[in-house]
Amino acid sequence: MKSQPVTVHRLLNYEQPAEQAGTVGGVQIPAQIQQWLQGAGALLPPGLIPPGLLPGTTPPPAENVQRFYNFRIVGTTSVTDSKTHQEVLELFGKESNFQNPRQSCMYAEFGFQIGQPMPGGFVQGAPNPNAPADILVSLSCETVQMHNYNWPYGTKTGLTPEASKKVLEIVRKTFGG
């Protein structure tokens, strides 16, 4: 693991659900008004009204954004500093940095990938002996979740207060802020 590359992802831990057709700002539009709006929209030239604006029309296409285990990636960087690289390995390599979780939630703010990213033919979560160790970190829930391998510390997936501080230090050094 010492020679393996480390990649850190800054993640968006919550996304607003897409609004359903027939609602504007969370308010249900009566059926008769929906019909009027659809009729008026049909009289206008195609493309004039953005998709999904009028109830009953095709919703806008889903955004094609990079994700790390269903969390939107808002920033990615490789750990190039050898000291920071060692700090990442020490953080996840010591059982004393983890405890039984106090909460059972996962709103990951960061993702750590230790090892080579998977070639295009592999799917995240699928068994692959050469897969990187992918770790989601949620500071708001004080917990971690590992993918591609079994977590080595059993039920100890909660971060200790000291480990939470270490994660923040590593992220600040890595992203420069």
Q: Domains plus CATH for the chain?
A: 6-15+65-175 (2.60.40)
In the predicted model, what is the mean pLDDT of the chain? 83
Residue 62 has pLDDT above 80, yes or no: no
Residue 50 has pLDDT above 80, yes or no: no
Residue 131 pLDDT class (50, 70, 90 cuts): confident
Which residue carries 């100890």 as its tokens?
156
Q: What gap in Å lies between CA 32 and CA 35, rounded to an integer?
A: 5
Letter string b/e over residues 44-59, b meaning 16 or more CB atoms within 10 A of that residue's CB: eeeeeeeebebbebee
List of residues 6+ apart from 172 with CB closer than 8 A: none
pLDDT of residue 30: 75
Q: What gap in Å lies between CA 10 and CA 34, rounded to an integer?
A: 41
- Give the range among 68-72, 100-104, 114-118 with minimum mean pLDDT: 114-118
pLDDT of residue 65: 86
How far from each other are the two terminal CA atoms of the chain, in whole angstroms?
A: 26
**Three-state DSSP class for residue 163:** helix
> Strands 133-138 and 67-68: what pairing?
unpaired
**Three-state DSSP class for residue 43:** helix
**Three-state DSSP class for residue 162:** helix
Residue 46 has pLDDT above 80, yes or no: no
Residue 10 has pLDDT above 70, yes or no: yes
Residue 81 has pLDDT above 50, yes or no: yes
User: Kind and range of the H or E element at 132?
Assistant: none
pLDDT of residue 22: 44
pLDDT of residue 58: 61
Residue 102 has pLDDT above 60, yes or no: yes
